[in-house]
């Protein structure tokens, strides 16, 4: 079926093959000596191992070509899985330390994504994240960038990076500025920290969607808040499993969110790093959580209903989806 995905990070889509190519070209040493070893390094074992791989990857961004390669790899994966629409998190602040800087990186990524849309897709909109661990400096940088940008693809400000120990509410002034500049607000909350972060994201940051949000299931009051405000949670099952939010998928709170009538979407977050893709996430939701095809199709449509793109784009995609997935609709 044609699919929409609302929660994945561009830097988190780099496959071992693309990373290997970038490292070779730029003469960057990786903590492994063969592509086979690099593939093994991608097997998620602990958050520390994940961070060391992430840092090695960051050292590979040297030129415009590397950013174009990253987008090309992402687009190829979308086409393989028939992902027609995606909202992609990108964090320019983190790229300030690399060779071409955050703003130029954003420009290259945008140019490449615009060209892809013209060539038939996927259609992609961007969410510009503040990395929570970098605090006020990153908040200021991101708010200012959004105020100054005339980027046609950015639809929202986001809050990414590690969640536990980093209050959501602290970022309120930057979210306020982005909202005044015309952007939507979304935020990571309720994955590695509890439901209070979901509340802060909704009440203080005025988030219209929550990335993850699954720990809201621990609080009836928070579930009610999500339902009343019609806020969609962009759930990532395998990411939750790898980061030990749940011990096994059959314990996952997705069903609780659905029972509370909260709209959800299914997502990959950082697909190769968690050794998953969107097809696998749908398969897991069916096999391990017991959702039927009708429920999965509704979840897929949520990816358009709660998308932050222009209405005309959303409507066009909805008509396209309806036409192309009759079997899933009737089952
Ligand atoms: Zn995420």
| Whole-number pLDDT of residue 179 | 98
pLDDT at 44 over 60: yes
Going by C-beta distance under 8 Å and a sequence separation of 6 or more, which residues neighbour residue 331? 292, 293, 294
Distance from the alpha carbon of residue 204 to the mean position of ligand 1, in angstroms: 20
pLDDT mean over 125-150: 97
Cis preceding-peptide flag for 122 (omega within 30 of 0): yes
| Whole-number pLDDT of residue 43 | 84
| Whole-number pLDDT of residue 327 | 65
| Whole-number pLDDT of residue 281 | 98
pLDDT mean over 257-285: 97
Cα-only R_g, the chain: 19
pLDDT mean over 264-272: 97
Q: How far is 47 from 44, CA to CA, in rounded Å?
A: 8
Concatenating the DSSP letter of every residue in 84-128 gives: EEEEEEE-HHHHTTSTT-HHHHHHHHHHHHHHHHHTT--EEEEEE
Q: How far is 183 from 261, CA to CA, in rounded Å?
A: 26
pLDDT at 117 over 80: yes
pLDDT at 328 over 80: no
pLDDT in tens, 70-104: 999 999 999 999 999 999 999 999 999 888 999 99
pLDDT at 304 over 70: yes
pLDDT at 331 over 70: no
- DSSP conformational letter for 269: B
Three-state secondary structure along 177-222? HHHHCCCEEEEEECCCCCHHHHHHHHHCCCCCEEEECHHHHHCHHH
Distance from the alpha carbon of residue 128 to the mean position of ligand 1, in angstroms: 12
pLDDT at 27 over 60: yes
Distance from the alpha carbon of residue 88 to the mean position of ligand 1, in angstroms: 10
CB of 285 within 8 A of CB of 296?
Answer: yes
| Catalytic, out of 5, 11, 163, 191 | 191
pLDDT at 184 over 80: yes
User: Using N-to-C axis directions, what is the helix angle for 64-81 and 16-26, rounded to 10°?
Assistant: 160
Strand 184-189 relative to strand 154-160: parallel, antiparallel, unpaired?
parallel
Q: What residues are paired with 158 via a beta bridge?
A: 129
Distance from the alpha carbon of residue 324 to the mean position of ligand 1, in angstroms: 29
Q: How far is 258 from 7, CA to CA, in rounded Å?
A: 18
Q: Tell me the average pLDDT of the chain.
A: 94
Look-up of token digits 């130029």? 104
Distance from the alpha carbon of residue 234 to the mean position of ligand 1, in angstroms: 9
pLDDT at 214 over 70: yes
Percent of the chain clearing pLDDT 70 (strictly above): 98
Say whether 252 sits in a helix, a strand or coil: coil
Which superfamily is assigned to 3-322 in CATH?
Metal-dependent hydrolases (3.20.20.140)
Confidence of residue 326 (pLDDT cuts 50, 70, 90): low
Going by C-beta distance under 8 Å and a sequence separation of 6 or more, which residues neighbour residue 31? 41, 52, 53, 56
Provide the whole-model pTM.
Answer: 0.95
- DSSP conformational letter for 289: S
| Whole-number pLDDT of residue 329 | 53
Distance from the alpha carbon of residue 331 to the mean position of ligand 1, in angstroms: 31
CB of 106 within 8 A of CB of 151?
Answer: yes
| Whole-number pLDDT of residue 249 | 97
Known active-site residue 176: no
pLDDT in tens, 8-20: 999 999 999 999 9
Reference 75, options 152, 151, 150, 5; nearest CA is 5
| Whole-number pLDDT of residue 47 | 73
User: Using N-to-C axis directions, what is the helix angle for 102-118 and 64-81, rounded to 10°?
Assistant: 40
| Whole-number pLDDT of residue 59 | 86
Distance from the alpha carbon of residue 160 to the mean position of ligand 1, in angstroms: 7
pLDDT mean over 171-200: 97
pLDDT at 320 over 60: yes
Distance from the alpha carbon of residue 122 to the mean position of ligand 1, in angstroms: 20
| Whole-number pLDDT of residue 54 | 81
């Amino acid at each position: 079926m044609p699919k929409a995905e609302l929660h994945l990070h561009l830097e988190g889509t780099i496959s071992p093959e693309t990373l290997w190519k970038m490292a070779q070209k730029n003469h960057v040493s990786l903590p492994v000596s063969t592509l086979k070893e690099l593939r093994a390094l991608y097997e998620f074992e602990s958050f520390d191992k994940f961070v060391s791989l992430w840092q090695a990857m960051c050292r590979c961004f040297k030129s415009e070509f590397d950013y174009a390669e990253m987008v090309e790899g992402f687009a190829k994966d979308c086409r393989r899985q028939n992902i027609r629409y995606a909202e992609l998190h990108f964090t320019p602040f983190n790229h300030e330390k690399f060779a071409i800087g955050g703003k130029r990186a954003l420009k290259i990524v945008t140019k490449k994504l615009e060209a892809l849309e013209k060539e038939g897709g996927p259609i992609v909109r961007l969410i510009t994240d503040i990395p929570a661990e970098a605090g006020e400096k990153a908040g200021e940088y991101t708010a200012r960038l959004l105020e100054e940008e005339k980027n046609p693809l950015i639809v929202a400000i986001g809050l990414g990076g590690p969640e536990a120990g980093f209050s959501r509410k602290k970022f309120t002034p930057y979210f306020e500025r982005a909202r005044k500049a015309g952007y939507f607000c979304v935020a990571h909350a309720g994955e590695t920290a509890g439901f209070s972060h979901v509340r802060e994201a909704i009440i203080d940051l005025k988030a219209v969607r929550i990335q993850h949000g699954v720990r809201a299931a621990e609080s009836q009051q928070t579930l009610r808040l999500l339902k009343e405000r019609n806020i969609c949670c962009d759930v990532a099952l395998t990411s939750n499993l790898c980061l030990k939010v749940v011990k096994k998928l059959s314990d996952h709170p997705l069903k609780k969110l659905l029972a509370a009538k909260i709209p959800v979407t299914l997502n990959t977050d950082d697909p190769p790093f968690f050794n998953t893709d969107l097809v696998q996430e749908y398969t897991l939701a069916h096999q391990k959580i017991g959702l039927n095809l009708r429920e999965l199709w509704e979840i897929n449509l949520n990816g358009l209903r709660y998308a932050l793109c222009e209405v005309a784009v959303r409507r066009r995609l909805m008509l396209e989806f309806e036409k192309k997935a009759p079997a899933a609709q009737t089952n």
